[in-house]
Structure 1
Amino acid sequence: MLSILQILLMILGAVKFVMIVHIAMSWLINFQVLNLRQPLVYQIWEGLNRLLEPLYSRIRRFLPDMNGLDLAPLVAFLAVYALEIIIRNNAGIFL
């Protein structure tokens, strides 16, 4: 059971990493540090969007319209972090 717990925590860590990269990249694109006309930047951006958009779209259905402010990545990141805390605090049950 310990290895399943460690695999779950590793997957949540990878999801958090991908979300942080996506959030940082969106800021860099919005502040025009990165340019989507560069092929590598565009490919990475599209890949991250394809990975995370199914998660974000489900969250956006429940959030109110914020006039251009997208809080779905923040809510998703907090949910993943809360799930990790819950798993860590209740690890003794599974062992």
Structure 2
Amino acid sequence: MDIEIITTEELQNKLEKGENLELVDVREFEEVEQGMIPGAKHIRMGEIPENLDYFDKDKEYIFICRSGRRSENVCYYLKDQGYKVRNMIGGMLEWTGETK
């Protein structure tokens, strides 16, 4: 089962065009303090299962972490539950856009 991906560059282009995207950052608190992509919601990887009611099966969510590994795991988990997901490959290590 393959997970759909998006590159940091593709995501940045979409945000610059003003596309309304559902971004979820699954890193730990101390990591997001160093900066998150504006508009992203922070739900730590370990808290995803108890936050399933946040997700809507009609929307696609883009998951973000430091390198793309944890977010990929979250994507597999949520795809199994029937959600539309996409993993930002390269993670925040490769993100060159704005952070807040």
TM-score, scaled relative to structure 2: 0.28
Higher helix share: 1
Higher strand share: 2
Bigger radius of gyration among the two = 1
